[in-house]
Amino acid sequence: MTEPARLVHERRAGADLGGVETVGALRSTRLLVGASLVAVLAEAWFAVGLARPTPAMLSWVAMLFAIGLAVTACVQTSRAPGIAPGAGRFWWHVALGMSLIGLGAVSNGVDTWRGIVKPQHIGTLTAGFYIAGLAMLLWAMVRIPGHRRSRGEWLRFGLDSATVVVAVLTFAWHFVLRNWHEWSGGNVTGARALMALGTCGAVCAFAFVKVAFTGTGPLDRRALYLLASAGGAGALGGAMSPLLAGRPWLNGTPIVLPLTCLVLCFAADRQRRAAGVPVPVPARRKRPGCVPYVAVSATCVLLLVDADLSGGDILGVAVGTVVLVLLVAARQATALRDNAELVHSLDGRLREVVEYQETLAWQATHDALTNLPNRRLLTQYTSEALEHGDRVAVALVDIDDFKEINDDLGHGTGDALLTAIAARLGELAGGALVARLGGDEYALVFPAADAPAALRFLGAVAAGLRRPLDAAGHALVVEASVGIAVGEPGLGAAELLRRADVAMYAAKEQGKGRQVAYDPAMDQRGAEQARIAAELRTALDTGQLRVFYQPIVRLGDGGVVGVEALVRWEHPERGMIRPDLFIPAAERTGLIVPLGQWVLATACRQAAQWRRELGPDALAYVSVNVSPRQLRETGFATRVRDELRAAGLAPACLMVEVTETAVFDGGSGLDELHEVKRLGVQVALDDFGTGHSSLGLLRTCPVDVLKVDKSFVDNVTAAGEHSVIADALIGIADGLKLRAVAEGVETEAQAVALRALGYHYAQGYLYGRPAPAAQLTALGRDRERFGAPAR
């Protein structure tokens, strides 16, 4: 695995693991010791107060001291080293909330000392401070960073909170009414304020529990549980005052608040100990909240108990009501279970889809044979490196004489060699990104200050490649031509790759096993292409071009049914020039149009001559390649008709081959092809499966023959995607009643495999290399080899 790929893998693995929580052990601090002592003194003073009247102000002083300790703990936690910004903001809000509650306690103590309210009652200002403090705690909870909640989640949270509020109000009202005359003394405002405080405290506790279950963001989960218990203790303090009606000198608030502050100090200490520790990200699971059900169940029990004490018919009504509630709850639980099963099923399907998308994304950016990054990922990686200002070099590595190895030892050995080269490059490249661009061409992207440094690095890589490689049992030694280009400020990835490509071709021109750095003078290669185009124009005028013909045979008996016309250039000085050296120049300069017209005319005349000489034994058709640019020329169909008439050839004896790219986007090219079809000329889609390969194209394009590309034939004898595709293509052809011709058949094993798949026609070196017309004429006189097509 190359270093860039390894870094990506480690980042993904880290994200998947999420981190393991390792929080330091609980330690004794002055804050915790002080809060514990205050809580113990407050509870001891409360126990004394249960036995006999005691001064109230001492408990108020202890409560204020406890609140001060809690605020201090929260402030220290908000500023703790390593704490996340969101967590620090949360604890700062908690400190503000406790400060407001402390102001409420001061107001309550002053009112009690001045005799404005009784010890167990609170005034309006005191209630305002308390409620404001609880509201600040709720606001801190809502502001906890976490996953973005939907409207539905907020609605469910509101309904759950409303359920808790109603339950708390029911219990509070019930217990307040029981001791109303003895406790309230007609102070309706004080009673309502205590009920509001108890309700708010219960909602705070519920909210913290809810958040702890559904997502804590940067907060420690156990710290939130402690905060929830602190909120519950505060709610208990607001609800217990009516229970102390028989002891008017006691107040529940100075008793419960020290306990609440103690728990809050422990929660803050827990958060400080967890600061800087990665927070695990649990999988979000839909689970029903139990708190609303507990609240409803408790209210039902209260209803039954109260109805039993009241007697009469009300007990039957209460029982019926509770049964109905339980039935509805059971019905909802069943629905929730079914929904959970459905969500689990959908979750599994979603994971499958995600895995499939990840597989497709991998296939789109990696080579199927070697698993190396492909050109797309290489370009993306290079672009990012250049944008970041990294000084990188790109090297294109082309394996010398790979075609000869492939032809001599077979494609299986060739593929094994390509895989072995990929592995060797990965070992030699160190931290470089290694990619396969296709065929026998690889690329490396690596840090380099200048061209000499890049050449030194690649010299070592080339030397390592010369060590024998094991390929399907063969020990092979390979050489590589390498072109290098070093990035410059403002240079894009496409230009850097172009320069490396230019340098690589320069290396190949110098011989085998060369490493060449890009030089601006190499761009004169474009001028060379222009020179080739000019010479090609001369070749057209002076008769240097030749048309060779390659047989197309029946797989059943090997009978030749047609030929494909292929152009060759016999240069007076350089000999026979391969088409791949001059066809691109013809395409770029537009010479492909007169060149294609000449091939069409020559092939038509030759086919007519064969029919005159051989009669019924003549070939069924001759196939001519038509370039996209030639097809889009206005009047192409008319020129085809004129050439057929001039040669005296029937339209059915001619087939034109077009690529998918030429007709995929419709337009004038497709219109001309329809006109050609109306003449009675056959139409073949060449190299099918390597272009756009849209099945809709087979409906819009007037196709008679599908020519299956050589790349799918090469590995047809092995189980894998190529044989599957070849099988699928013959199925498509048969279903649409089209003929399918397998191109590039080179071995008898491939022919046997193709016949087994249902192919009837083939073309390739196994049946004959492209040859002059005279050789085909001699072959045509062999009646055992020639014959008309089956359909």
The per-residue pLDDT for 704 is 93
The per-residue pLDDT for 680 is 95
Tokens of 488: 């410059």
CB 714 within 8 A of CB 722: yes
End-to-end alpha carbon distance in the chain: 52
Please give the full DSSP string across 675-721, using - where no structure is assigned. HHHHTT-EEEEEEETSS---TTHHHHS--SEEEE-HHHHTTTTSSSH
Instruction: Give the whole-angstrom CA distance, residue 200 versus residue 538.
Output: 96
Burial class (CB in 10 A: 0-12, 13-18, 19+), 431: exposed
Instruction: Give the whole-angstrom CA distance, residue 221 versus residue 282.
Output: 11
Instruction: Give the whole-angstrom CA distance, residue 603 versus residue 569.
Output: 16
The per-residue pLDDT for 183 is 46
The per-residue pLDDT for 98 is 84
SS3 159: helix
Instruction: Give the whole-angstrom CA distance, residue 624 versus residue 476.
Output: 40
Closest CA to 201 of 268, 262, 252, 135: 135
Strand 515-517 vs strand 480-486: parallel, antiparallel, or unpaired?
parallel
Question: What is the identity of the amino acid at 287?
Answer: R
Instruction: Give the whole-angstrom CA distance, residue 223 versus residue 201.
Output: 17
Closest CA to 779 of 618, 653, 649, 546: 618
The per-residue pLDDT for 93 is 86
- CB burial of 165-180 (b: ≥16 within 10 Å; e: otherwise) equals bebbbebbeebbeeeb
Query: Residue 552: beta bridge partners?
Result: 562
CB 644 within 8 A of CB 654: yes
Tell me 653's DSSP state: G
SS3 634: coil
Q: What are phi and psi for residue 168, nearest 5 degrees?
A: -65, -45
Instruction: Give the whole-angstrom CA distance, residue 173 versus residue 195.
Output: 7
Tokens of 577: 């020039």
Closest CA to 708 of 724, 683, 687, 677: 687
SS3 739: strand
* Sign of the torsion angle spanned by Cα atoms 205, 206, 208, 209: positive
SS3 51: helix
Angle between helices 85-113 and 124-142 in degrees, nearest 10: 170
The per-residue pLDDT for 20 is 41
Instruction: Give the whole-angstrom CA distance, residue 758 versus residue 716.
Output: 13
Apex 363 CA angle, 413 and 502, nearest 5? 70
Instruction: Give the whole-angstrom CA distance, residue 457 versus residue 486.
Output: 13
Closest CA to 729 of 706, 755, 763: 706
- CB burial of 606-622 (b: ≥16 within 10 Å; e: otherwise) equals bbbbbbeeeeebbbbbb
Closest CA to 78 of 219, 229, 210, 222: 219
User: In this structure, how many other beta carbons lie within 10 angstroms of the beta carbon of residue 109?
Assistant: 22
Tokens 């204020």 sit on residue: 64
Displacement of CA 333 from its chain's centroid (Å): 36
Helix, strand, coil share (%) of the chain residues, nearest 5: 60, 10, 25
Burial class (CB in 10 A: 0-12, 13-18, 19+), 315: middle
Q: What are phi and psi for residue 30, nearest 5 degrees?
A: -65, -35
CB 384 within 8 A of CB 690: no
pTM for this structure?
A: 0.40
Instruction: Give the whole-angstrom CA distance, residue 560 versus residue 300.
Output: 93
The per-residue pLDDT for 657 is 94
Instruction: Give the whole-angstrom CA distance, residue 392 versus residue 686.
Output: 40
Closest CA to 447 of 486, 421, 404: 486
The per-residue pLDDT for 671 is 86
Tokens of 598: 């000449």
CB 23 within 8 A of CB 220: yes
Question: What's the mean per-residue pLDDT of the chain?
Answer: 78
Q: What is the 3-state secondary structure (H, E, C) of 522-583?
A: HHHHHHHHHHHHHHHHHHHHHCCEEEEEEEEEECCCCCEEEEEEEEEEEECCCEEECHHHHH
Query: Residue 483: beta bridge partners?
Result: 396, 516
CB 739 within 8 A of CB 706: yes
Q: What is the 3-state secondary structure (H, E, C) of 319-388?
A: HHHHHHHHHHHHHHHHHHHHHHHHHHHHHHHHHHHHHHHHHHHHHHHECCCCCCECHHHHHHHHHHHHHC
- What dihedral angle (degrees, nearest 10) is formed by the CA atoms of 131, 135, 137, 138? 140
pLDDT tens-place string over residues 593-619: 999 999 999 999 999 999 888 887 788
CB 222 within 8 A of CB 192: no
Please give the full DSSP string across 277-316, using - where no structure is assigned. SPPP-PPP-----SHHHHHHHHHHHHHHHHHHHH-TTHHH
The per-residue pLDDT for 349 is 84
Low-confidence ranges of the chain (pLDDT < 50): 1-21, 177, 180-183, 186, 188-189, 192, 197, 206, 212-214, 279-288, 783-791
Instruction: Give the whole-angstrom CA distance, residue 84 versus residue 506.
Output: 57
Closest CA to 395 of 365, 434, 367: 434
SS3 426: helix
Instruction: Give the whole-angstrom CA distance, residue 786 versus residue 163.
Output: 91
CB 710 within 8 A of CB 744: yes
Tell me 447's DSSP state: E
Closest CA to 653 of 612, 609, 607: 607
**What is each CA distance from 522 to 433, 484, 486, 528, 656, in whole angstroms?**
26, 12, 15, 10, 38
Tokens of 638: 């008319």
Closest CA to 461 of 422, 487, 495, 488: 422
Tokens of 196: 């509001």
**Residue count of the chain:** 791
